[in-house]
Copies of this chain bind each other. A is one copy, B any other.
Amino acid sequence: MSQASYTIGIDYGTNSVRAVVVDIADGRVVGTRVFGYPSGDQGVLLDPKQPHLARQNPADYIEGLRVSVGDALTAADAEPGFSRERVIGIGVDTTGSTPLPVDAQARPLAVDPRWQDNLAAHAWLWKDHTSAAEAIAITETARAHAPELLAPIGGTYSSEWWWSKIWRCLKVAPDVFDAAASWVELADFVPAVLAGVDDSTKIVRCICAAGHKAMYSEAWGGLPPKAFLSRLDPKLAALRDRLYDKAWAPGRPAGQLSADWARAFGLRESVAIAMGGFDAHYGAVGSGIQPGTLVKIIGTSTCDCAIAPVADKIADIPGICGIVNGSIVPGFFGIEAGQSAVGDLLKWWVEGICQGGDALHAELSAEAATLAPAQSGLVALDWNNGNRTVLVDTRLTGLILGQTLHTTRAEVYRALIEATAYGARAIIERMREYGVAIDRVVCCGGIAEKNGLFMQIYADVIGQPMLIAGSPQTPALGSAVSAAVTAGVANGGYATWDEAQRRMTSLKEQRFAPRPAAKKTYDDLYGIYRELHDAFGGVQDASPDLASLMKRLLAIKERAVHEAP
């Protein structure tokens, strides 16, 4: 490249949207802006009568686009060498599955005054759990009549996903369902907005959302067959015609910047709009994912991403939420797993139970760091928000075992971190068992950045060094990477994902290596965790020896304390 090129990455989170302007030569951020969604409770529309409901106002997405990108560009203007002329692409990542109903002109129903007071007409945020009954019915129907639909998504359909939510809407707000010309994932909606799409049949759909959340696969010709959808409700089968036949891997453009947005932002109309994608997947890209690398995006919950060459013919992996060709990087299976509560579990303990704030987080973390593995005699199951992988059961609940009258809050804090680490290990073991190589673990997200105790425990439990992504905003960076590849080398971007990632992503120097003695103790504790996990998780052929479990845990404790230096 003779001259610097820039791309913009836009990351739609749960409470805010962030835009970054990135120098594609080295991934350096030259301008950024975060915009908090103005509606509801920190951007989330709630209903006091329905605690599982979580919606978002699509108007916030558009206003957030305008403000975050506009202000990020203004910030970039101050950077020497930057010019808006040199912006070659825009990439977008979002939460998901977050579907919203749109009219025939691809406008959200919720911006229409007729529907704006109806929560069903807004975006159904990923963490909306009103569709539990629908998820169960979809899973049961598929098991009975079309088990192949479930195989690539881990065997169980989730209440957080596309069809559960749309079916729920059909049941509780049939007028909204009937008024919707189509439904669109937020990850596809924003690129369509940027590209000025004004026809709902012309929205370009990403394989990422389609394959992981909507049971889309080329193996059965796209979305689930009408015969299957009819078993749920004939209206869902009819909707299929108004959705899409084809979904695309990243790299292909979702369009070009519309004249209106180009004018608003002072950008060229030739700017490429990358395919949208989920935050976790673009976060994996921004963390430098490659075959053999597991990227752990550690926040309130965790998303684990790996890729494997399509040639490897990875089998369906029970309990792994999704294996989709091209969902993260084209030419590779994108493999997604996750834990339902990680940061949230610590937050529950520190804020909900101990009623402290950041200072107490730090205090408990410091005190927990002085404890040896197994010293507390505690083992917990990390299921306060269910188990996403490998049990795929949102209704499981938490468990803490081994308490004495002397058990401290810092001991429980550490035990909860350990529980999430055991959960992380269970995911890695399952992937390996089914042929996915994992020889490198890269972590990103707030906890990875800030909590050294957490990272050390993960290294000790998993038995691998924990590496940390160089960027604190890997999803936005990954979107910018995608934009650079989508723009292509002819426009000043990159020809390959590999090259773009090598140039634009990095690792921090700090890494956490497993300590052999701690790993040995954690191997024993993980055995206890697995017994509880398999027994309470309903794993077939689980044969726990619970009668001796508390004593064996004490024996591990006594050995560990005795051997401590």
Contacts and interface: CB of A to CB of B under 8 A. Distances in A.
A316 interface: no
A408 B355 CA distance: 10
A405 B341 contact: yes
Interface in A513-541: 535-539
Contacts of A551: 395
Interface stretch (A6-14, A241-249, A455-463, A542-550): A542-550
Contacts of A409: 352-353, 355
Contact of A547 (B341, B344, B347, B538): B538
A384 B405 contact: yes
A404 B400 contact: no
Interface in A357-413: 377, 384-385, 395-409, 412
**Chain A interface SS verdict (over half):** mixed
A124 to B, nearest CB: 20
What is the oligomeric copy number?
2
A544 B542 contact: no
B403 A400 contact: yes
A303 interface: no
Contacts of A406: 352
Contact of A405 (B345, B400, B539): B345
Contact of A550 (B355, B397, B550): B397
Contacts of A377: 397
Contacts of A536: 546-547, 549-550
Given A352-B406, A354-B353, A355-B409, A537 B542 contact: no
Given A344-B405, A398-B402, A542-B546, 16 more contacts: A345-B405, A347-B405, A348-B405, A348-B407, A353-B354, A353-B408, A354-B354, A354-B355, A384-B403, A384-B407, A395-B551, A400-B400, A400-B403, A537-B547, A538-B547, A538-B548
20 contacts: A348-B403, A348-B405, A348-B407, A353-B354, A353-B407, A353-B412, A354-B355, A377-B397, A384-B404, A385-B405, A397-B402, A398-B400, A398-B401, A399-B400, A400-B400, A536-B546, A536-B549, A537-B547, A542-B547, A544-B546
